[in-house]
Amino acid sequence: MNKETFLEELRGYLRILEDQEQEDILAEYAQHIDMKLQKGLTEEEAIRDFGPMRELAAEILEAYHVKPEFDEKPSSRLPKLKESRGITNAGESLHKTGSFLKEKCIACIHGIRQGFQWCGRKCRALAAWMWKPFSKLSTKKKGTQAEKAVINMQEVGQPEADNQEFLANGAYGGQIPLGEGDLKIVKTVNIEQRQKSSLVSVFIRGLIKIWNLFVRFCIWWVRLFWNLLWLFMALLFGGMTLITLAGVGTILVLLPQGYPLAGTLLICLGGMLCMGALSCGSYSLILHGKKEGQDAFEEETEDAAGNITEQELHDETEEDYEKNA
C-alpha cells in the first residue's frame, strides 16, 4: 500500500467527520510518512508501523466521541462508499440515456408532425379534387343568373325599345362596353328585382340550390363507385384469364406426353375465352359509364338551369301581377 491509497482509505473511514477535520488528520499522517521517507524508510514500511487500518481509524474516531459501534463496522462504511460511487455512475448513465431518449422523442414528434402536415396537405388536395365538379357548377349558375336577369327584364314592364336595347347588351354578357344610359337601366332592374323577390322565392331558390348540389354530389360519387367496381371486375377477370391461359399452356405441354387432358384443355380454353370476354366487357362498361356520366352530367346541369329559370320566371311574374293588382 502506498501513501496515496493509505490516505484515501483512511478518508473513507473518517467520512463521518467534518471535511476540515479529515484534512487536518490526513495532513498529520501525510507529514508523518514524509518524515519517515526522509529517514530512509519506504512508504510501505512507514504505513506498516501504523498497524491495522481499522484500529487506527477506531482510535481517531474515539477522539471525537463517535459511537464505538460506528467504527466497529468500518466494512459497512467502505461498501457504502463504493455504493455511492456506483450510484453516481448509475446517475451518469441514466442522465446519458435520458438525454438520448429526449433527442429521440424530439425526432419522433418532429416526424409525427411532418406526417400530420403531409396528411393535411393530402386531405386538402382530396377535398379540392372532390369539389372540382361543384366549382364548375357554380360558374355555370352565374351564367344562368345572368340569363334570368334578362328574362325578368321582359316582365318588368319597361318600354319596348329600352328593353330590346338591354337585351342586346345582356345577351353579350357585358362584354361590349355599355353606355351610361344602359348602365342606369341595369341598376334599376336590379333594384326592382330585389324589391320583388319575396321570402318564398328566396327559400325556393335556396332549396333548389341545395338539391342541385346534392344531386351533383350523388352523381359524382355513384360514377366513381361504378367505375371503381368495373375496374375491379375487369382486373379480376383479366387475372383469371391469365391463370386459365397458364393452364392451357401447361396442358398443351402435357398433352403430347400422353396425358389424357383433352377435356381439361377444352374447359380451360372455354374458361379463358369467357373470362377474357368478361374482362373486356367490364372495361368497356367503364368507358361507357364515363361517357354516359359526362353526358348525363352536362344534360342535367342544362336541365336544372332551365328549370330554375322557368320556375323563377313563373314565381316572379305571379308576384308582379299581384302587386300591379
Partner 1 sequence: MNPQFKKGVLELIVLESVRKKDMYGYELVEEVSQVIDVNEGTIYPLLKRLTNERYFETYLRESSEGPPRKYYHLTAAGILYRDSLEAEWDEFQMRVSRFLKEGKGHE
Residue 79 CB, shortest distance to partner 1, in Å, is 24
Angstrom distance (rounded) from CA 159 to CA 157: 7
Question: How many residues interact with partner 1 (rule CB under 8 A)?
Answer: 19
Q: Interface with partner 1 by CB under 8 A: which range of 62-70, 126-134, 270-278, 302-310?
A: 62-70
* Chosen residue from 7, 13, 25, 170 binding partner 1 by CB under 8 A: 25
CB 299 within 8 A of CB 196: no
Q: Interface with partner 1 by CB under 8 A: which range of 32-40, 118-126, 243-251, 306-314?
A: 32-40
Instruction: Based on the shown chain and the rule CB under 8 A, indicate whether residue 31 belongs to the binding site for partner 1.
Output: yes
Cα Rg for the chain, rounded, in angstroms?
Answer: 50
Angstrom distance (rounded) from CA 301 to CA 233: 30
Instruction: Based on the shown chain and the rule CB under 8 A, indicate whether residue 24 belongs to the binding site for partner 1.
Output: yes
- For residue 9, how far is the Cα from the chain centroid? 62
* Chosen residue from 8, 28, 83, 318 binding partner 1 by CB under 8 A: 28
Instruction: Based on the shown chain and the rule CB under 8 A, indicate whether residue 7 belongs to the binding site for partner 1.
Output: no
* Chosen residue from 4, 8, 19, 35 binding partner 1 by CB under 8 A: 35
Burial of 315: CB neighbours in 10 Å, binned 0-12, 13-18, 19+? middle
DSSP letter at 176 equals S
CB 92 within 8 A of CB 79: no
* Chosen residue from 63, 128, 228, 246 binding partner 1 by CB under 8 A: 63
- Closest of 149, 156, 138 to residue 174, by C-alpha: 149
Q: Which residues bind partner 1 (CB under 8 A)?
A: 24-25, 27-29, 31-32, 34-35, 38, 49-51, 56, 59-60, 62-64
